[in-house]
Amino acid sequence: MRVRYFAWLRERVGAPEETVETEAATVAALVEELRARDEGHALAFADLRAVRVALDEELSDLDAALAGVREVAFFPPMTGG
C-alpha cells in the first residue's frame, strides 16, 4: 500500500511517501508498525493527537479498517485563515 506523509510528518520520516507491505488490520496497527521502523517514524507518530489520516483520499479515523485500502495519507490538522 502507498503511504504518504505531509508537512512536518514528511520531514520527520524523511520521505514524501513509501510503499508498505503490511498485515495491519487498522490504521492504528499500521501506525504501530511504522513507529517501529526507525527514529524518524517514531518521532512522526509520537503524538497522535496531532495527526490526521485519509484513506484513499477520504478523511478517516485511526480505528478504521485497512481492508481494500490502496493509499493512506498522514498529515497535521488543517488550520484556516
pLDDT digits (tens, 9 = 90+) for 45-69: 999 999 999 999 999 999 999 999 9
Residue ranges of alpha helices (H) inside the chain are 8-13, 27-35, 39-44
**C-alpha–C-alpha distance, residues 53 and 41, integer Å:** 15
pLDDT tens, position by position, 3-41? 999 999 999 999 999 999 999 999 999 999 999 999 999
Task: Output the pLDDT for position 6.
Answer: 97
In sequence order, the 6+-apart residues with CB closer than 8 A to the CB of 79 are none
Range of the domain at 71: 2-75
* CATH code assigned at 38: 3.10.20.30
**Is residue 75 left, alpha or beta, with left meaning phi > 0 and alpha meaning psi from -120 to 50?**
beta
Among the listed residues 79, 59, 7, 76, the one whose alpha carbon sits nearest the alpha carbon of residue 27:
59
Residue 60 lies in a domain: yes
Residue 49 lies in a domain: yes
Residue 81 lies in a domain: no
Cell triple for residue 63?
480505528
* Domain count of the fold of the chain: 1
